[in-house]
Amino acid sequence: MTQSPVQRLFDGPLDIVGDVHGEISALEQLLENMGYAPNGEHPAGRRLVFLGDLVDRGEDSPAVVKRVSDLVRNGLAQCVLGNHELNLLLDSRKEGNGWFYAQTDDHDHSRGHFRDAPRADASERDAILKWFSTLPLALEREDLRVVHACWHPPAINDLRDDARPVRDLCENWSERVEASAEHDGLYAARKEELQQWKKALHDPEALVPMLPAIAAIDARTQSMNPVKVLTSGLERQTSQPFFSNGRWRMTEREAWWNEYSDEPAVVFGHYWRWPGDEREATARSRGPNLFDGTSTWQWLGPLGNAMCVDYCAGLRWRERKSGVQQHVGLLAAVRWPERDVITSG
């Protein structure tokens, strides 16, 4: 039975775990550090909440899904959907999610640097998609809210009473956004921009100007679709293009928490908050450093009640590849109501 995409959060004390990204060893270490028994029970009656992005890039995504889904089924955890789970529901191949697919070739970017990661078999793939389709997009109670990327009241309101499967929701909203862009002539304008700049858009040495139609379509695609807003945040046109992940970008992510002034606290992940030297460029999210001017473990927003708990566990694959012995990227959890941050170490 399909349920609302915005559901009730557990009562009582919680440990809210950031983006795991397949790092099963870090997850087990974090649970041990927080005092959880191997079966997921806590002597103080605490329960777990996972912020999504359980999968991709890390050492064993199928193992993480099994561990977390077992905890959820046993009533010991809740989990919201992240953009990486949404990609699989939409059958969208991205770098790092080749572990899910039955076959990939040497040119498949979904495997990329992650060819040694364990694959899911056919029965696991079916079960994984079925379970992902049951996950809410947001959780809430009177004092606390949980979402993968962005708590945006208009998007929450658009989705709260719509019980369609999340894949249908996302695709329906995408069609509506595309219709608005077509109506406003943006696709015709983008075609003209691509005629001149298509090749340069993938060249980091090119001098690419702001291309307003591409910028407008990219911003609308992200920020007018409430499913994408909750799972991967708001975006806006950047002041000037920048090169990231293989192409020139015309939009940048918004630090929405700087405007968050609601009384309930909100905990989220997604934004690659770097626990090391702030000059370390490998941890940067797309565009400007959204955490500039804040300390590593600081609560955010005008009321100090917004917390990003993604501390770059998803970069451990890169650290392993470089041969480091001590990871800088950490898996972390925030304890509620204590507001403390615990890490995998």
Per-residue pLDDT tens listing for the chain (345 residues): 568 999 999 999 999 999 999 999 999 999 999 999 999 999 999 999 999 999 999 999 999 999 999 999 999 999 999 999 999 999 999 888 999 998 655 445 545 556 677 899 988 999 999 999 999 999 999 999 999 999 999 999 999 999 999 999 999 999 999 999 999 999 999 999 999 999 999 999 999 999 999 999 999 999 999 999 999 999 999 999 999 878 999 999 999 999 999 999 999 999 999 887 766 645 555 677 899 889 999 999 999 999 999 999 998 888 888 877 778 889 999 999 999 999 998
Lookup: tokens for 337: 């109501």
Cα torsion 177, 178, 183, 184: sign: positive
What pLDDT shows up at residue 197?
A: 97
The whole-angstrom separation of Cα 42 and Cα 12 is 12
Lookup: tokens for 216: 């407008």
Residues in the chain: 345
What pLDDT shows up at residue 118?
A: 87
Q: Which residues lie across from 297 on neighbouring strands? A: none
Lookup: tokens for 338: 């204590």
CB 332 within 8 A of CB 343: yes
b vs e for 71-87, b when ≥16 Cβ sit within 10 Å of the residue's Cβ? bbeeebbbbbbbbbbbb
In CATH terms, the superfamily for domain 6-164+254-343 is: Metallo-dependent phosphatases (3.60.21.10)
The whole model's pTM is what? Answer: 0.93
Cα within 13 Å of Cα(63), Cβ side: 13
